[in-house]
């Protein structure tokens, strides 16, 4: 085992390398490109015995990934943001093929307006596709969850593709010390790809994911995918226990940080949760009983683990780095459903923050604790809030003023801003 | 559209404004120094100045890539779209607003890779627009990955030992599409030819496709370095119906007489050759134009009279 200083992107590439991915269909997109470049470099240097094909788009890339997995090889691919959306037709389709493979998604907010920085609306667009989702917060987790994902994906009770998500820029380009396991140890943990019922054989023809007419067979196959995804809850625990025994790093579907006696808990996903950890430490130093609950797994939704982590707390601040237009934060909604009707469920306060890579400052975490505490005291869930400072609003108004002046100078009607 | 009709729509034949280069955009582009895109932008501005294009009647549409920043640097309407989709956006604009002149700026990634399906169909639809395909033979914005036009053997970050396949030839590809109407090739390092070619494309009625060989000083400098400083490595296609630049033959001495009406010869000439061929490969204004046949919106005679009356009422005293 060696310890290296690598980026989140390189950690994802290491995951694919150690998993001995056979086939890597690729297409560049910021901030993911480093992953495929790293793999491409290793392959051509002879350090990784795999085939990489650069395709004309993410749509073709996901098609090739699913098809290759369906012929019985281990597949890794990676994308981001607009690329994931462009591939969305195939995201649903290859999940229905029950073709197990791993897709690293480097989260980046979606157009329009176009940007490069992260939030989770891209990966949440794949939420209902049949892909399972694991969300990393550190570079070490990116590598480890990639290895776990292969075991989980290829388990005979699951057989679904998995997205391992890491935040663009904040994690993709941040170097952290990462334990790189010995290849032989990974081989023992993750045996060679078991094609299961997949694969081409002239003497054993099979049909996979053929067309159906009528809702009966369709419902059957779709519900079967749902059950396979639910199976993944128990399988993850087994696989993670084995991983922990071998490598000494233990992963649960939901991480609880300083939660033992916490009255108030933050709930959030991804690398921004490390900011919440920092805020928790500061609040603990100030004598406040605050903790963090971080789902590593979003699909299947670890509802029981979240109930275990949250029931009995007084208040919970859910911070969504996404926005479902016309509804609000997705995690808040899902958590509300998980806690609905449960005795002693805490009052949830909903916050949307970190959109398009917007930072979440320590003082905002402190303010959210106050809101959550007040909600717990009154028993009334507060109105959902967008994290946005006065100075940000002032800056925005200034820009709108400039735009209005430009429009007026050009003799165009303005919006009165 | 006739000048009479243009005037009716308020495009102002009697418009007394005049435009110089800076009126079409005076921001410093965010391209690397030495990037061929600067030269293309300058040529486009010169064309607009020479033709006195009205900024509010001109649209630049792009996709994603270095060259797709183009609309930001021009004081015209602009549409910075999503990767590969410049042509469908331009199609929508032109069909709903035939009075606008539509320029499309794409790179080799946008046009030949992720958006290649649109390229084929837009060529066949032959909608009146000027298409500039800035080909630097690399994915530049994502920093050095193999593109469809990267020459075989050229090392990139995704194929460090060199691109495995022969490069896609955008000229032969376009010439192979049914109903193609204008195909030309030029290079950013021959500015006079660049401007003349863009002008010929602009004046062409139909889908005019110009491949511009474009230097990328960061990632494909070796591909173009010798070419750009050696006129002898070029062969100019010349013909009264093609592009002629007075005096250029003093420097670019190798030339070939080619009638752009001859598609078979155009196809033959577009194949790999010892020298890079610059000029108009094919031009045919008699090909049917989709926007001509199916232009939108269509109005009845009564509606047109009503619209005309509304317009005339503006001048009632």
Please indicate, yes or no, whether residues A116 and A233 belong to a single structural domain of this protein: yes
Specify the residue for token string 């694969």. A199
Please indicate, yes or no, whether residues A264 and A243 belong to a single structural domain of this protein: no
Q: What is the pLDDT of residue B146?
A: 96
Residue in B82, B142, B143 closest to A82 by CB: B82
Inter-chain contacts counted by CB atoms under 8 A, chains A and B: 47
Residue in A26, A52, A57 closest to B114 by CB: A57
The answer to whether residue A28 sits within a structural domain is: yes
Mean confidence (pLDDT) of chain B: 93
Please indicate, yes or no, whether residues A125 and A22 belong to a single structural domain of this protein: yes
As to burial, measured by CB atoms within 10 angstroms (0-12 exposed, 13-18 middle, 19+ buried), residue A99 is buried
B189-214 pLDDT, tens digit per residue, is: 999 999 999 999 999 999 999 999 99
B125-180 pLDDT, tens digit per residue, is: 999 999 999 999 999 999 999 999 999 999 999 999 999 999 999 999 999 999 99
Q: Which of B93, B127, B142 is nearest to A78 (CA)?
A: B142
User: How many helices (H) and strands (E) are present in chain A, helices listed first?
Assistant: 14, 15
ipTM of the complex: 0.85
User: How many helices (H) and strands (E) are present in chain B, helices listed first?
Assistant: 11, 9
Please indicate, yes or no, whether residues A318 and A269 belong to a single structural domain of this protein: yes
* Structural domains counted in chain A: 2
Domain that holds residue A272: 254-386
Please indicate, yes or no, whether residues A278 and A356 belong to a single structural domain of this protein: yes
Return d(Cα A88, Cα A70) in angstroms, integer. Answer: 18
CATH number, domain of A237, equals: 3.40.50.970
- What does the block give as tokens for B120? 């084929």
Taking 90 as the threshold, does the pLDDT of residue B8 lie above it? no
Please indicate, yes or no, whether residues A188 and A76 belong to a single structural domain of this protein: yes
Shortest Cα distance, chain A CAs vs residue B25, angstroms: 15
- Asked whether the beta carbons of residue B159 and residue A57 sit closer than 8 angstroms, the reply is no
DSSP secondary structure letters along B154-188: ---SSSTT--SSPPP-HHHHHHTSTT--EEEEEET
Q: What is the pLDDT of residue B1?
A: 43
Taking 70 as the threshold, does the pLDDT of residue B57 lie above it? yes
Residues of chain B that touch chain A, judged by Cβ-Cβ distance less than 8 Å:
80, 82-84, 113-114, 116, 139, 141-143, 145-146, 148, 157-161
- List the Cα angle B226/B228/B233 in 5-degree steps: 70
B58 or A203: which leads in pLDDT: B58
pTM of the model: 0.91
Q: How confident is the model at residue B299 (pLDDT cuts 50, 70, 90)?
A: confident
Q: What is the pLDDT of residue A244?
A: 98
Please indicate, yes or no, whether residues A232 and A269 belong to a single structural domain of this protein: no
Shortest Cα distance, chain B CAs vs residue A62, angstroms: 13
- What does the block give as tokens for B51? 């033709």
Tell me the HSE value of B96 on the side-chain side, using a 13 A CA sphere.
6
- Asked whether the beta carbons of residue A45 and residue B160 sit closer than 8 angstroms, the reply is yes
Please indicate, yes or no, whether residues A238 and A279 belong to a single structural domain of this protein: no
Percent of chain B with pLDDT over 90: 86
Residue in A28, A57, A111 closest to B84 by CB: A57
Q: What is the pLDDT of residue B14?
A: 60
Please indicate, yes or no, whether residues A147 and A222 belong to a single structural domain of this protein: yes
- List the Cα angle A280/A170/A307 in 5-degree steps: 45
Q: How far is CA B76 from each of CA A360, B14, B110, B210, rounded to the nearest angstrom? A: 38, 20, 22, 21
Q: What is the pLDDT of residue B296?
A: 61
DSSP secondary structure letters along B260-304: TT-HHHHHHHHS--SSEEEEEEEE-TTS--HHHHS-S----HHHH
Q: How far is CA A17 from each of CA A30, A82, A187, rounded to the nearest angstrom? A: 21, 25, 11
Please indicate, yes or no, whether residues A83 and A226 belong to a single structural domain of this protein: yes
Torsion angle of C-alpha atoms A364, A367, A368, A370, degrees rounded to 10:
170
Q: What is the pLDDT of residue B298?
A: 67
Angle formed by the axes of helices A330-339 and A303-310, to 10°? 80
Residues of chain A that touch chain B, judged by Cβ-Cβ distance less than 8 Å:
26-30, 33, 36-37, 40-41, 44-45, 52, 54, 56-57, 82, 86, 111, 114
Q: How far is CA B193 from each of CA A273, B24, B81, B238, rounded to the nearest angstrom? A: 56, 21, 29, 11
- Taking chain A (417 residues) in consecutive chunks of 10 residues, what is each chunk's mean pLDDT? 95 98 97 97 96 96 96 95 98 96 98 95 98 98 98 97 98 98 98 84 81 92 97 98 98 98 98 98 98 98 98 97 98 98 97 97 97 97 96 97 92 62
- Asked whether the beta carbons of residue A28 and residue B160 sit closer than 8 angstroms, the reply is no
DSSP secondary structure letters along A149-186: HHHHHHSTTT---EEEEEETTTTTT-EEEEEE--HHHH
B166-184 pLDDT, tens digit per residue, is: 999 999 999 999 999 999 9
Residues in chain B: 317
Please indicate, yes or no, whether residues A33 and A175 belong to a single structural domain of this protein: yes
Return d(Cα A373, Cα A390) in angstroms, integer. Answer: 23
- What does the block give as tokens for B106? 């794409």
- Asked whether the beta carbons of residue B83 and residue A41 sit closer than 8 angstroms, the reply is no
* Radius of gyration over every alpha carbon of chain B, rounded to an integer in angstroms: 20
- What does the block give as tokens for A333? 């909604």
- Asked whether the beta carbons of residue B158 and residue A111 sit closer than 8 angstroms, the reply is no
CATH number, domain of A323, equals: 3.40.50.920
- Asked whether the beta carbons of residue A29 and residue B142 sit closer than 8 angstroms, the reply is yes
What is the rounded end-to-end Cα distance, in angstroms, of chain A? 59
The answer to whether residue A101 sits within a structural domain is: yes
Domain ranges of chain B: 3-313
The answer to whether residue A206 sits within a structural domain is: no
**Interface mutation target, options B17, B56, B114, chain A, most CBs of A under 10 Å:** B114
Residue in B83, B157, B160 closest to A82 by CB: B83
The answer to whether residue A409 sits within a structural domain is: no
Q: Which residues of A touch B170 (CB under 8 A)?
A: none
Asked if B87 and B117 touch (Cβ cutoff 8 Å), the reply is no
Fold (topology level) of B3-313 = Rossmann fold (3.40.50)
**Boundary-marking domain end, from A247, A273, A291:** A247
Please indicate, yes or no, whether residues A104 and A75 belong to a single structural domain of this protein: yes
Residue in B113, B145, B159 closest to A56 by CB: B113
Asked if A107 and A119 touch (Cβ cutoff 8 Å), the reply is yes
Q: How confident is the model at residue B92 (pLDDT cuts 50, 70, 90)?
A: very high
């Amino acid at each position: 085992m060696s310890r290296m200083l690598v980026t989140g992107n390189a950690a994802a590439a290491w995951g694919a390398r150690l998993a001995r991915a056979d086939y890597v269909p690729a297409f560049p997109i910021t901030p993911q490109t480093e992953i495929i470049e790293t793999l491409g470099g290793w392959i051509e240097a002879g350090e990784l015995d795999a085939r990489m094909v650069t395709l004309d788009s993410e749509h073709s890339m996901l098609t090739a990934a699913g098809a290759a997995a369906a012929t019985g090889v281990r597949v890794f691919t990676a994308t981001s943001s607009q690329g994931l959306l462009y591939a969305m037709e195939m995201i649903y389709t290859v999940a229905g093929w029950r073709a197990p493979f791993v897709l690293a998604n480097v989260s980046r907010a979606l157009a329009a307006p176009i940007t490069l920085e992260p939030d989770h609306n891209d990966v949440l667009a794949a939420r209902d596709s049949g892909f399972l989702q694991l969300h990393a917060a550190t570079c070490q987790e990116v590598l480890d969850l990639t290895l776990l994902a292969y075991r989980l994906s290829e388990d005979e009770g699951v057989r679904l593709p998995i997205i391992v998500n890491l935040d663009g820029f904040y994690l993709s380009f941040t170097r952290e010390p990462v334990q790189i396991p010995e290849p032989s140890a990974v081989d023992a943990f993750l045996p060679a790809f078991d094609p299961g019922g997949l694969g081409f054989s002239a003497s054993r023809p099979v049909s996979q994911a053929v067309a159906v007419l009528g809702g009966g067979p369709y419902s059957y196959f779709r519900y079967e995918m749902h059950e396979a995804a639910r199976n993944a809850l128990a399988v993850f625990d087994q696989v993670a226990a084995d991983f922990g025994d071998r490598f000494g790093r233990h992963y649960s579907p939901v991480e609880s940080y300083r939660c033992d006696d916490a009255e108030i808990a933050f709930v959030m996903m991804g690398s921004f949760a490390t900011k919440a950890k920092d805020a928790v430490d500061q609040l603990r130093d100030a004598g406040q009983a605050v903790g963090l609950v971080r789902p590593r797994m979003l699909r299947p939704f670890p509802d029981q683990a979240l109930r275990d982590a949250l029931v009995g707390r007084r208040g919970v601040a859910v911070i969504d780095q996404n926005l479902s237009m016309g509804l609000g934060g997705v995690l808040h909604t899902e958590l509300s459903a998980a806690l609905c009707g449960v005795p002693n469920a805490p009052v949830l306060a909903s916050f949307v923050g970190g959109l398009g890579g917007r930072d979440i400052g320590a003082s905002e975490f402190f303010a959210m604790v106050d809101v959550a505490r007040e909600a717990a005291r009154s028993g009334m869930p507060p109105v959902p809030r967008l994290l946005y400072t006065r100075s940000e609003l002032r800056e925005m108004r200034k820009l709108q003023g400039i735009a209005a002046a430009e429009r007026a100078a050009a003799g165009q009607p303005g919006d009165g801003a | 559209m006739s000048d009479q009709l243009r005037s009716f729509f308020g495009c102002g034949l009697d418009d007394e404004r005049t435009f110089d280069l800076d009126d079409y955009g005076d921001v410093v582009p965010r391209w690397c120094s030495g990037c061929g895109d600067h030269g293309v932008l300058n040529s486009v501005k010169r064309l607009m100045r020479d033709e006195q294009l009205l900024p509010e009647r001109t649209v630049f549409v792009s996709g994603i890539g270095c060259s797709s920043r183009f609309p930001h640097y021009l004081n015209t309407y602009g549409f910075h779209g999503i990767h590969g989709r410049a042509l469908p956006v331009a199609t929508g604009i032109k069909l709903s607003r035939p009075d606008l002149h539509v320029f499309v700026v794409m790179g080799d990634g946008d046009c030949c890779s992720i958006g290649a399906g649109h390229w084929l169909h837009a060529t066949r639809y032959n909608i009146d627009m000027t298409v500039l395909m800035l080909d630097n033979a690399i994915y530049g914005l994502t920093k050095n990955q193999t593109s469809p036009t990267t020459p075989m053997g050229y090392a990139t970050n995704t194929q460090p030992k060199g691109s495995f396949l022969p490069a896609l030839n955008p000229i032969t590809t376009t010439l192979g599409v049914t109903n193609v109407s204008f195909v030309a090739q030029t290079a950013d390092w021959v500015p006079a030819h660049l401007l003349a070619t863009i002008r010929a494309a602009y004046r062409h009625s139909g889908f005019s496709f110009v491949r511009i060989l474009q230097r990328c000083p960061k990632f494909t400098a070796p591909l173009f370095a010798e070419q750009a400083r050696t006129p002898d490595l070029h062969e100019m296609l010349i013909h009264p119906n093609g592009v002629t630049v007075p005096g250029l033959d003093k420097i670019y001495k190798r030339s070939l007489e080619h009638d752009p009406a001859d598609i078979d010869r155009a196809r033959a000439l577009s194949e790999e050759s010892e020298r890079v061929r610059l000029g108009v490969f094919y031009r045919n204004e008699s090909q049917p134009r989709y926007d001509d046949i199916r232009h939108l919106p269509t109005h009845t005679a009564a509606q047109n009279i009503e619209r005309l009356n509304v317009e005339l009422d503006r001048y009632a005293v």
